[in-house]
Each structure stands twice: as structure tokens, then as C-alpha cells.
Amino acid sequence: MKVLPFKIPKPEKEALLYQEDHEEIFYDQLHQHEEIQISYVVEGSGSLIVGDTISAYEKGDILLIGDNVPHVYRSDQNVSGKSLMLSLFFTKVSFGKEFFQISDLTQIQELFQEAQYGVKVISNKEKFYSIFRQLKSENKVQRLASLLLILDLLQNSEKEPLSSFIYEKKFSDNDGKRMRAVVEYAMENFSDAISLDVVAEKASMSKNAFCRYFKKRTNKTFFQFLIEIRIENACKLLYRQRELPISSISALSGFQNIANFNRKFKEHKGITPSTYRNDLNSTLHTTKMES
């Protein structure tokens, strides 16, 4: 099933939708849909934008994204192999307006509130994997039972939010196309110098109007957003290409000089790039020794 920007089509009267995304890359355009989405990344890695924040996703992640939350999965194109994601889609009223209001399920409302900022699961992952792997062979009644098990497990698992700010209003189609064009351009060209003139042109707006527009919808300036994309890319390079000089990583991530790169990296991650790499190497060495 193709997920269209800002809309997710599904068969009429289908209350709970199970979807398998077998792709070279996941759907990489900014979109939102009325369904709540729970996903298991079986294979693949990349960047995930939820609301105002960009973070990495990788094989084994369990992700919860709320209804009408703008998000985009962008697979790492320099990593070989297929991407596979298993997902469940449903709305708060899929099973009747009162379903999630009954006394036995009222605690799930708190989970739905958390979902508005996006959630990544930290604990109990093997239990999630076991349930997700059975979904393909289950009938509709069994899948509904599995959904309730997953929701209960989500409530009782350690989680971390994926975003700190979500624009309260649902994006219109025009808003969606405009924001999608800007986000797509930033993610494809972050390693180059990007001017406000060009970005505003992508949004078909004047520079001043675009700055106000973007800040209102993301709670940050476009260039703050761009720096976060660059820092996230640098983190991946520090992890995957450990022999690559930090000065090269700085340039590949779009920074004009290494001093600015070091400063911005520490602002966002709390440590310098070299410390970040050393900590990764120490963790990997310890893991190998334990295995």
C-alpha cells in the first residue's frame, strides 16, 4: 500500500490495518495521517523526523507515532540491504467511539498523549518482536488481540520521546506540500551551503514570511533545524567510519570549519565529536569482550 503525503488510504471499514514495507528505502516524504502508527523496524536504518526533532532509527527499533503527527523516514542510502518495517495503523475511534473510554482501557489515553510527541521503546523489545512476527499469519480478531497486548506492553515499557514540540493544528494540503518541499531539500542538500533565499523559494514565500512560517510550525528557525540534520549525519559517520578524520566528517556534514562543527556538536550532544567517537569505541570494545 502506497502512503500518500498527509493521507493514508485503507480499505473501507478496515478498523485495524497491518502493513509490511519491503523497500530499498522507506517512504521518505514528510507526511501525516489520522491513524496512530506502531512500527517494528526489522531491517534498515536512517533518519526519522518527528515534529521538530531529527533522530536516528535502526534495526530493532519499536516506534509509536500519534495521529496527525508530521513525520518522515529517510533511509540511509549509503548502507546496502533492504529495508523492512512492520506496522499497525488504527484510530482512536476505529473500534467505536467509546472503545478506549471503557474503564479497563482508560490508561491507554495517557499513552496516546505520549504518542503525540513520538515514542521510541527502550525496554522489553524481545516481547514486542515476538508479537509483531505473528501478525502476518493472524486473522482480524487475533490482530486486534495482538494490538491490545502491544498497547499494554507499551504502557509498561521504558520509552523516550522523539520530539519536544508538535504543531497543534493539522496541516492543510498546501501546508503539507510546502513543509515537505523544505524538509526534503534540507535533507538532500545539508552537506552544501544553503541560503535562506533558496529555501524560501522552495516554499514559494518571501524570506521574512518563510522564517515566521517555519518557526511557528517547528518552534525553531530553519537553520537550527538544518544544524540538527548535520549533527545527526556527523554522528552516523563517527559511528560507521571510525577511521575517517573528524575534519572530513565536519566537511561532509556541511560545516564550513571544524571549530564551528566542534562547538555546535557539543551544544547538541553535550560532548565533543572526538569524545563521542571514543565513547563509541569503548562501548564496542566492552561488548566484544563480554561476548
Domains located in the chain, CATH noted = 17-161 (2.60.120.10), 173-284 (1.10.10.60)
Question: Each residue of 182-209: pLDDT tens digit?
Answer: 999 999 999 999 999 999 999 999 999 9
For position 215, what pLDDT does the model report? 93
Answer for the pair 159, 122: CB distance below 8 angstroms, yes or no: yes
- HEC sequence for the chain: CCCECCECCCCCCCCCEEEEEEECCCCCCCECCCCEEEEEEEECCEEEEECCEEEEECCCCEEEECCCCCEEEEECCCCCCCEEEEEEEECCCCCCCCHHHCHHHCCHHHHHHHHCCCEEECCCHHHHHHHHCCHHHCCHHHHHHHHHHHHHHHHCCCEEECCCCCCCCCCCHHHHHHHHHHHHHHHHHCCCCCCHHHHHHHCCCCHHHHHHHHHHHHCCCHHHHHHHHHHHHHHHHHHHCCCCCHHHHHHHCCCCCHHHHHHHHHHHHCCCHHHHHHHHHHHHHHHHHHC
Least confident of 20-24, 69-73, 248-252: 20-24
On the question of pLDDT at 240 being above 60, the answer is yes
For position 5, what pLDDT does the model report? 46
Question: Each residue of 77-89: pLDDT tens digit?
Answer: 666 668 899 999 9
Q: Using CA atoms in the order 239, 245, 251, 256, what is the torsion angle rounded to 10 degrees?
A: 120
On the question of pLDDT at 52 being above 70, the answer is yes
Least confident of 21-30, 150-159, 224-233: 21-30
On the question of pLDDT at 243 being above 70, the answer is yes
Mean pLDDT on 211-229: 94
Least confident of 11-20, 139-148, 276-285: 276-285
For position 146, what pLDDT does the model report? 97
pLDDT tier for residue 288 given thresholds of 50, 70 and 90: very low
Higher pLDDT, 207 or 32: 207
Can you tell me the distance from the alpha carbon of 165 to that of 51, in angstroms, rounded to the nearest whole number? Answer: 6
